[in-house]
Structure 1
Amino acid sequence: MRFRNKMVLAYILFFIFPFIAVGFFIVREYRQSALDKAIEQSEASVERIKNRTAETLDVAIGLSSRLMLDSQMEEVATTRYRSSSDVVDAYRNYDTFRTYLEFNPEIAGIKLFVQNDTLLNNWEFLPIDAKTTKSFWYRAAIEHSGLVGWYYYPSETRTAGNLLSLVRSVYFQENKSFGVLSIDVNTEYLNSVIRQEHFETLLTDEQGYVVASNRPGTLGKLLRDTGLGSAIEGKPPGVYQMAVDGRDSKVRIDKLQPDKSYMSLNVITIYPIDSIVREANRIDRAGIRIIAVFAALSIVLIYSICTVMTNRLLKFSRQISKVSTGNFNVEFRDEGKDEIGQITRQFNHMVNNVKELMNEVELSHRHAGELERKQNEIKLKMLASQINPHFLYNALESIRMKAHISGEQGISKTVKMLGRLLRRSLEITGEAIAVNEELEMVRAYLEIQKFRHEDRLNYEIDIEPEAGRIVLPPLLIQPLVENAVVHGLERSPGGGTVAVSARVAEGALVVRVEDDGAGMSGERLAYVRRTMRDQEANRIGLHNVQMRLTLTYGEGAGLRIESEEHKGTRIEFRIPVEGSNACTK
């Protein structure tokens, strides 16, 4: 038997037959998996509806529990008023109902029915009349004292339609009487919860009214009148199979028992069986087709493939021999899409990779450097953006307190300084600015702090003309001055002086901020130096400046801190004058 025929026979025996057997097994498993997943999704949908509905009802239950303990509500409800104006004033001063409605979209309305004929009906507090006392929900609420009932009923106080309402009796200790609290659940909110589900779902009360639904034409109707038939009504919780709208369907009934309630609600979910097994049947049919087509094509094509396989292997062998002699400029072209074609393409690719390796390494290094530079730019912009609003809150609070306590005329000047500081802050875009422009912000900041601390704060600014024209990233000096005021002078009982200087020395711009305030102990100074790279909540300014300096000018441009307890602190940094980020302006 020829080698080609041997390969064909072996292929059929050891591949085609096992493939068909395994294929049928895998298709069946996938079908069962799809069926299980569909059932699991339907069950998860029901649980999701129950949980979200329970959450909505729990909002109403929680509000009712809080209102039962509301002494102000009891006072409004039980007071015997002498005139209508007294009632109106009491209603105006009591806004708890309106506040609850504003912050709880799940609730559509809150009403309290009270045995007090001096009240006026404002749709929040309603005097009980004979019609109310005869209503089924009122009698049930009084009978189940303190427990929660859920009813879907019309009311003359409603603007339109019916709503699911929480009904709960309230005992007023002051005059030993009862009232009934009614909290209307937002039907549209409940419907929005149910509309998010794929399967048809209905929420019914114990009387059989549909209180929420995503099935058209069922809301507000009795279950027996919805077209689903009486087969569903009255059935206990469980899963039933029946025809709905002419389709064989699964109907699942679940009981929802809200907390503190003597009544329950039913969640009815309808999902057609064909929608559950649709995906499973599709997988089954598609799998069988794929297996049949693949088997037929394999038997037809294997013979022709084996015919040309030997010739292709011989050509490839001759190409390998050339490469083995050190000739890497040859290329074997094989247009086949099978394993041999893949091997030849991988072989050619390997040869090309050897020749291109050095170029790829160089390109990779260049890309890595560019990426690191862009990352540093992004990080620098992020760090710079943190400082802009850092001081404004303290300054505004100082002005407010000073104005409130003393009303001094210096407030006008301070507000002007603050306006200048705000304007300069808003003008900062991240581009480099001159030292003189940065010091305008520093001077405005110090004037504001001087207004705040009066004679406890003095400051000196000494800038060489050449240094003032040098540009640098914005907001490098102001955080250091703020640190000197907050951590140096504010902690010193006698206050002190802040000195800011800038000069050019040995080809570098030297900026120094000094204070003669509280200073730091040696241990504290060591801790600040050690942790300055970490962004602590109370030292965001120093950390920000340190990181921006080192990212822009290198590690040698970082902050240098010297301090002595009870004598003061000095912070300075040096940046080169020659460079892209430090030049004259």
Structure 2
Amino acid sequence: MTVKTQDRKMRKLLGKLLLRDRPLMTKLMVFSAFLVAIPMLCAGLITYRHSSETLEREARQYSWQIIEQVKHYVEDYFRDFEINALRIVNHPDTAAFIRSEAREAEPDDELAHRVRNVLKNSAYTRSDVANMTLLVDNGLNAIDSNDQPGISSVRELRSEYWFGNVSPAGKPKVYSRLVKWKGRVEPVISVVKGIANPQDLSPFGMLVIDLNYKRLQDVARKVRLGQSGSGYLFILDERDHYIYHPNYARIGTKAEQAILQAAGRQLSGSALTAADPAGTARQFLTFSTSEALGWRMFTSIPYTDLMASRSYIGRTIVITSAAFIMLAYVLSFGFAASLVRPVRRLYQFMKRVEIGDLKGSVEVESKDEIGKLSAGFNKMVARLHELLEEVYFSKLRETEMSLRQKDAELKMLQAQINPHFLYNALETIRGMALEHDRDDIASMSASLSRLLRYNVKDDSPVVTLRQELEVAEVYLKIQSFRFEDRLSYCLNIPQWALDFPVPKFTLQPLIENSIVHGLEPEIGGIEISITARLLKEDAYLLTVSDTGAGMEPGQITQLMKTEEQPKGHIGIRNVRLRIGHLFGEPYGMSVESERGIGTEIKLVLPCIRDRRRDST
């Protein structure tokens, strides 16, 4: 790319940025508004971004403090039940019952009754305990602290995902689940302590303490997050199942994928959930992991609530900027009107001049540059009006002369010989020749008549190769009378090609070119050959070759140029142009020639038998 081209592109780009092609009023108003709007917008964007970061940081800190408080409370709360579970398992009556079951002794109803009392006494002291269940012999034998009707059976524990993973080693585990309670489904938190077989220490049973959500609900109600208070607290276990959620239907189910993707496997931090195609609102999450329980505690705040203050600041900036821009527009409009009004009047008068209204003038109100421009334009229009009147009368005279010339040409055409008179004259000559036994003159007269009829009567631009060969042979016969033995020809056309299309008068100009440029300059003879062969399914090659004088490479190059008309080869150029016009790409003509050897002209034509009717 040249330096000049780059400079031109830069000027074009600069013209677009500076509104070079826009109305003057638009330029003045836009530039005036930009002088106010750009500083305002820059300051507003900086303030908006800073306030957003501050709001997000404060929301994160506040949520973190709440999570830490809730985490310590929940850890202490469940630590008490872990200790209580150990007391129950190690109680003498419970230990005796476990040993009895491990020995597979006969059931001791008295001992089972005492164990139930132990469970009842432990549950009685806590209002948040829904039920206590001791399962031994891998759940085949169970004792409930609450044996009222309508209470969920402990046999449903077998369907929980964690039932087979409870180990007697280690501290108790905590899980969430749903139980049937007096005809309704209630969520509970189960503190599960595994029990080992006293004989071989293998898993033998478990103690399950079911807690209601009363304490967690009390804590969750005190947590108010977000400007509208729609934020909430939820807890996930180590397998990402809900331990607690305000919507009880989600307890025990796996957390949503959007939450897990946002939090990842981090132990603590904050994250923003991704946009959900289903239309779920984005949530700002803050979370921390309890090392004691293995749970992750989350606070979730709707992102719209979190950014409500930021939106207010953004609206304030937009409204203020819009107000100042409108004020700039009003002031710039009044200033620009005084400059643009005379220019607009001049422009409107110019539009009248463009459509030919040269009468009148534009009013000149001032003597400044615009006034001088208007006065100068008035003088120019007056002078133009005078010149146009002179040109008008000159055109009238030229038109009159042109009409006279066309009238003379028409009379010339009317005086031309009628083609039918030529046909009759040729037939008369032929008859007289036959009467005097001049067969050669009769044959030539018949050939000329056939050639003339083909040229005049058939107005179709495309004919069959059969028709074109007949005319070519007639023309060759006429030329044979002139050149006698110096001219010989060979027509080698297969039968399948005779009905293929070819532009009318294609072969005759090419044969004439071979005779004029290949035979007339030479003393010797010439042989003209016309052949055809199939190129592919939809195209065939028609070749006209001669053994004449040939052409120079420069002549061939000049011949193939479409913008210039080569002298002496008008027929070849005419054929090439007509092929391109009638058939288009990829059909056409090529010329190969060597000085002293001859010329070969190749025509690539379509193999469509009904092409002539379509073209017609």
Q: Same fold (TM over 0.5)?
A: no
TM bracket (short chain): 0.3 to 0.5
Larger Rg belongs to: 2
